[in-house]
Amino acid sequence: MFKVNENYLKLPGSYLFSTVGKKQRAYQEAHPDKKVIRLSIGDVTQPLVPAIIEALHKAVDEMGHAETFRGYAPDLGYEFLRNAIADNDYKARGCQISADEIFVSDGAKCDSGNIQEIFGLDNRIAVCDPVYPVYVDTNVMAGRTGTYDPVRETWSDVIYMPCTADNNFAPELPKETPDIIYLCFPNNPTGSTITKAQLQEWVDYANKTGAVIIYDAAYEAYISEADVPHSIYECEGARTCAIELRSFSKNAGFTGVRLGFTVIPKELKSGDVSLHSLWARRHGTKYNGAPYIVQRAGEAVYSPEGKAQLKEQVAYYMKNAAYILNGLKEAGYTVSGGVNAPYIWLKAPNGMTSWEFFDHMLENANVVGTPGSGFGPSGETYFRLTAFGSYENTVEAVNRIKAL
Amino acid sequence: MFKVNENYLKLPGSYLFSTVGKKQRAYQEAHPDKKVIRLSIGDVTQPLVPAIIEALHKAVDEMGHAETFRGYAPDLGYEFLRNAIADNDYKARGCQISADEIFVSDGAKCDSGNIQEIFGLDNRIAVCDPVYPVYVDTNVMAGRTGTYDPVRETWSDVIYMPCTADNNFAPELPKETPDIIYLCFPNNPTGSTITKAQLQEWVDYANKTGAVIIYDAAYEAYISEADVPHSIYECEGARTCAIELRSFSKNAGFTGVRLGFTVIPKELKSGDVSLHSLWARRHGTKYNGAPYIVQRAGEAVYSPEGKAQLKEQVAYYMKNAAYILNGLKEAGYTVSGGVNAPYIWLKAPNGMTSWEFFDHMLENANVVGTPGSGFGPSGETYFRLTAFGSYENTVEAVNRIKAL
């Protein structure tokens, strides 16, 4: 008689964004006359830029002719894309990352969920609190998190690193020593960042304690301040302790195109065992590459035209971020983020919980955000708004909130 | 100090097709004047058909305009594709599968590797021997297979079901009762099939013993004989015991496009727990959907033009299969497969092992095939040739083999 993976049954409720979506749809069905504005899920709204559209059409044409048709992609991704990434995202910033340390994938969500597989079940994980829920949820599914406390909404074997107004949303080194440390900067959901000097402390700590850092830099394109690192490999010693995850979803609008990559330096080892070789084995055995046409679209992100067009696209969203940030400040809210990230982090007023404020916003302003408590216990009483709407909708949403 | 997943270290050597590729490249580098013909990896060579190219261009254009741009796809896949699958692959064959039992993915390799995750580690798996190595390898990675015997090349906790000339390459019900049964028909690598009556026996057996069947039907488009089932849901009772995996790689040439799907009927349960809900949770947490443009390409597979064009494409490859099958028979080889599948299964002559015959073919005919032993111990002394080459190359390869 077959047995299911009982770890799945420990997961409380459904995935955060599914619940948000359900509540929104229920409200919309009950009030078909209302225009609900979604500033909740981190999905982009601007179309792909012309350089990318052109690259896609060209690659599609290649697939239609025997001489230029491409079947299975190389295990780690096409060299043209891995070279473009190595040159632009790493060498140009002085980071020593070579093309064969880059693994192209269909997105950072898959990578951030799958990366835990190459580690044993007896590792203790540490996460920022609040943070993107996929890190913890996928460790729950693997059986690495102990038991769930439904009151505190925490797992017994997870080390939570609170990121609150008290520490300016930057985690402190944990008291218990973790084996695997998930860091996400610019942070989802708080929109906060840490400086290069602060990140260097984490790298030093990981090297000293033998921990591995899984560094999720999905939002690096939104960094505007000079002392904020774009890659963990800007720090000395990161090659022996850090894996970096990157996405094309937010810098190039690929949420529906699907492309990302993971960097594992060859020096990153446990004894003799290189994590690079384990991840290569996983890629070779369980994955079959990102589509050729999508990898060509990724290449176009790094072309001169692509770069110029995407700079404008990011600026468009950051104009939204500034509008939200300033508008809510004017309305008397306590807000942060929105400077190096497309997320604005908002304190719910009058002692409201995150979900109470969610309902309040949905019902009274017809604006959908994401309850901060969905990202971890320290997210309670907070609320996330995203800058990924259209400018018109963003302005309308902020004005409605101000009018409340 | 972080610890790696030690199960990965148990895997012997590298993934089969990587080794084949390395040997081929080494030979080619040493003999740059020789034209090596690859009839090894199951990669297609014919370009995408016009109906699919057209759908791709149209979808790319949609992604370039704000009104038609698509971000994150629905968790299970777009309804337009799931409806087309349900109607054409299931309802048209009298199978009761609804669109919301279909999970669209980026390919059957990922699905066949990931599906084991929703089961506990204490399940005993059974596999056809020989078979596609991903089933066993991904269970090794999860820690479900016990210890490896390097002499017999078997795992202590895996039930092997020999498929040999003695049983016409159709597995017999195992003596030990398994919890999870992987069946792949038309079979990779033997190219053999079983009849609907034979498959019904497996469904009855699984329902009786409480086992789950993971049915990989990636090659169903190549079935030419009437009594061979295209889906396990043609059998009575399959909805309570079977998961089906499907691919667009071989019926539509999507090896470099990446699209597949998994079917989990809602009645398939362990106690109260539905496997459909577990897989939905995995999709929602660890996956972010197949690209919109690729899902539109998948939809075009089911259009009248797409169907007609793909029928021709499959016929092209099956003409190759017939050429290989007949040519090798004429040359005195013992061969099977190639009638309902794009694979021809060949017995190495003169007591040669699979790898000896691989080297013999590479060196003397400059033809690359896949050693049967790479698919399981009962594949030893066998050799797989695929029909996915161009017709010209296939003819040349067969003529070279005949001339040996």
Residue limits of CATH 3.40.640.10 in chain A: 53-303
Q: Is A109 annotated as a binding residue?
A: yes
Average confidence (pLDDT) over A112-116: 98
* pLDDT score, position A16: 78
Q: Is the pLDDT of residue B256 over 80?
A: yes
Note which residues in 66-105 of chain B have CB less than 8 A from chain A: 66, 69-73, 75
- In the sheet that holds B370-371, the strands lie side by side as B335-337, B343-347, B382-386, B370-371
Task: Report yes or no: A173 at the B interface, CB cutoff 8 Å.
Answer: no
Q: Is A400 annotated as a binding residue?
A: no
Residue limits of CATH 3.90.1150.10 in chain A: 7-47+305-403
Q: Do A257 and B63 touch (CB under 8 A)?
A: yes
Residue B19 confidence class, pLDDT cut points 50, 70, 90: confident
* pLDDT score, position A18: 79
The percentage of residues in chain A with a pLDDT greater than 90, rounded to a whole number, is 96
Contact B392, B144 (CB under 8 A): no
**Direct distance between the N- and C-terminal alpha carbons of chain A, in angstroms, rounded to an integer:** 58
Instruction: Write out pLDDT tens, residues B51-68.
Output: 999 999 999 999 999 999
Query: Rounded CA gap, B153 and B376, in Å?
Result: 7
SS3 call for B161? strand
Contact B264, B229 (CB under 8 A): no
Residue limits of CATH 3.40.640.10 in chain B: 53-304
Q: What is the CA radius of gyration of chain B?
A: 21
Pairing of strands A367-368, A37-38: parallel
Angle at A332 between CA A328 and CA A333, to 5 degrees: 60
Closest in B1, B14, B110 to A287, CB measured: B110
Identify all chain A residues contacting B281, using CB atoms and an 8 Å cutoff. Answer: 8, 11, 14-15
Contact A140, A7 (CB under 8 A): yes
Instruction: Write out pLDDT tens, residues B230-253.
Output: 999 999 999 999 999 999 999 999
CATH topology of domain A7-47+305-403: Aspartate Aminotransferase, domain 1 (3.90.1150)
DSSP H or E stretch at residue A267: none
* pLDDT score, position A14: 66
Q: Is the pLDDT of residue B311 over 70?
A: yes
Which residue's structure tokens are 């034979």? Answer: B198
CATH topology of domain B53-304: Aspartate Aminotransferase; domain 2 (3.40.640)
Query: Rounded CA gap, A345 and A370, in Å?
Result: 10
Instruction: Write out pLDDT tens, residues B329-359.
Output: 999 999 999 999 999 999 999 999 999 999 9
Pick among 3.90.400.10, 3.40.640.10, 3.40.190.80, 3.40.50.300: CATH of A53-303: 3.40.640.10
Identify all chain B residues contacting A117, using CB atoms and an 8 Å cutoff. Answer: 5, 141
* pLDDT score, position B14: 66
Which residue's structure tokens are 């004894």? Answer: A271
Collect all residues with Cβ–Cβ distance below 8 Å to A121 and sequence separation of at least 6: A142, A143, A144, B5
Identify all chain A residues contacting B70, using CB atoms and an 8 Å cutoff. Answer: 256
Q: Is the pLDDT of residue B317 over 70?
A: yes
Closest in A4, A122, A257 to B270, CB measured: A4
Contact A162, A378 (CB under 8 A): yes
Q: Do B50 and A64 touch (CB under 8 A)?
A: yes
Average confidence (pLDDT) over A311-331: 98
Closest approach of B142 to chain A, Cα-based (Å) = 8
Q: Is this complex's ipTM strictly greater than 0.90?
A: yes
Instruction: Write out pLDDT tens, residues B117-165.
Output: 999 999 999 999 999 999 999 999 999 999 999 999 999 999 999 999 9
Chosen from B7, B176, B288 to mutate, greatest number of chain A CBs within 10 A: B288
Q: Do B119 and A211 touch (CB under 8 A)?
A: no
Note which residues in 22-51 of chain B have CB less than 8 A from chain A: 41, 43-48, 50
Identify all chain B residues contacting A72, using CB atoms and an 8 Å cutoff. Answer: 41, 43, 255-256
- In the sheet that holds B260-263, the strands lie side by side as B102-105, B260-263, B242-247, B212-216, B180-184, B125-129, B158-162
Task: Report yes or no: A56 at the B interface, CB cutoff 8 Å.
Answer: yes
The percentage of residues in chain A with a pLDDT greater than 70, rounded to a whole number, is 100
In chain B, count H helices and then E strands.
12, 17
Q: Which residue in A has a C-alpha nearest to residue B10's C-alpha?
A: A278
Task: Report yes or no: B60 at the A interface, CB cutoff 8 Å.
Answer: yes
Identity of the amino acid at B146: G
Pairing of strands B180-184, B125-129: parallel
Pick among 3.90.45.10, 3.30.420.40, 3.90.1150.10, 2.60.40.3080: CATH of B11-46+306-403: 3.90.1150.10
Query: Rounded CA gap, A145 and B206, in Å?
Result: 33
Contact A368, A355 (CB under 8 A): no
Q: Which residues pair with A383 in a beta bridge?
A: A346, A371
Q: Which of A1-5, A179-183, A382-386, B11-15 comes out lowest in average pLDDT?
A: B11-15
* pLDDT score, position B70: 98
Contact A373, A380 (CB under 8 A): yes
* pLDDT score, position A331: 96
Instruction: Write out pLDDT tens, residues A10-62.
Output: 998 766 777 898 999 999 999 999 999 999 878 999 999 999 999 999 999 99
Q: What is the DSSP letter of B48?
A: P
Q: Is the pLDDT of residue A329 over 70?
A: yes
Average confidence (pLDDT) over B272-301: 97
Which of A280, A287, A285 has its CA nearest to residue A266?
A: A280
Residue B371 tokens read as 């050693």
Which of A337, A184, A224, A249 has its CA nearest to residue A45?
A: A249
Q: Where are the alpha helices (DSSP H) in B287-390?
A: 292-301, 304-330, 354-364
Instruction: Write out pLDDT tens, residues A248-302.
Output: 999 999 999 999 999 999 999 999 999 999 999 999 999 999 999 999 999 999 9
Which of B333, B338, B318 has its CA nearest to residue B365?
A: B333
